[in-house]
Amino acid sequence: MDVHVKKMRKQNEETTTRRELPEPTVAPAVYDRKYYLTACGDYKKWAATGGREVASSYKGVLEFAGFRPGENVLDVGTGRGEIVRVAIENGAAEAVGIDYSDASIELARQTLSSAGIDDVELIQADARRLPFKEGRFDLVMALDVVEHMSEAELKDALNEIHRVLAPGGRVFIHTMPSRLIYDVSYRLLRALRPGWPADPRVDYERAMHVTEHSIGTIKRAMRRSGFERIRAWPGDFLYTDFLPGARARRLFCRLAPVPGVRRFVIADLFAEGYRQG
């Protein structure tokens, strides 16, 4: 069944008076079909089934965000569209996905069509200029998006997210990797093992990750955009593949449960904030 796909290549009626956007730091074409099917989070089940099945983690993170049936949900950087599908299947009044990548919109359409879902908005648009009226959404999901933006781009995107949230609505953010695991933990370990590579990041990270975040940086960015009741905390993803030494990987595993140290070894971060009610 058809999924309505709207390509927002020009300013619509709501955005004609706003300034022209600079070119994005990372071009949309970088996010191609290969990336979404071989590297983008929890891709294996989607790739194995052609989108007929999606990873259970998407329902889990939606629940973790406090989603309630009847809410209007926006998924910024929707990727393959799993959050939109899961939100609809679990009682969202409305779920909309946006992404600026052609490949994303194509795959998200397949995700929804394979579940027999139609009449859903999948919009090709830049997160810095959301084509929606003020106050339309109760929940905005931004999963693994903020690390792909410069500081200025993130400011614009968070300003827009704040604008389209209803009073009392919230944004829920996930980002990976935490800045601390590379800039602090890895550097300290490499001082003891100078033969390790200077940069442990994989090629996709070098191409796409513009600004890695800590708890402090993401909270400050949200505060500047007017969010209130802001929280940020480490997740539970213990990522050790970037460490060349088996001893270092074992050390990370032992340190993960230790209070005060956890943020230096856990790879992902969550954050949430509210628009004033």
Q: Any idea where the domains of the chain sit in the sequence?
A: 5-178+212-238+267-274
In a 10 Å sphere around its CB, with 0-12 CB exposed, 13-18 middle and 19+ buried, how is residue 56 labelled?
exposed
Q: Which of 5, 22, 28, 9 is nearest to 208 (CA)?
A: 28
Task: Provide, rounded to the nearest whole percent, the portion of the chain with pLDDT above 70.
Answer: 93
**Predicted confidence band of residue 2 (pLDDT cuts 50, 70, 90):** low
Query: Distance (Å, rounded) from C-alpha 203 to C-alpha 213?
Result: 19
* Model pLDDT for residues 104-123, shown as the tens digit of each residue: 999 999 999 999 998 899 99
* Model pLDDT for residues 184-211, shown as the tens digit of each residue: 999 999 998 989 999 999 999 999 999 9
Q: What's the predicted TM-score (pTM) here?
A: 0.91
Query: Distance (Å, rounded) from C-alpha 128 to C-alpha 175?
Result: 18
Q: Which fold has domain 5-178+212-238+267-274?
A: Rossmann fold (3.40.50)
Helix (H, G, I), strand (E, B) or coil at 138: strand
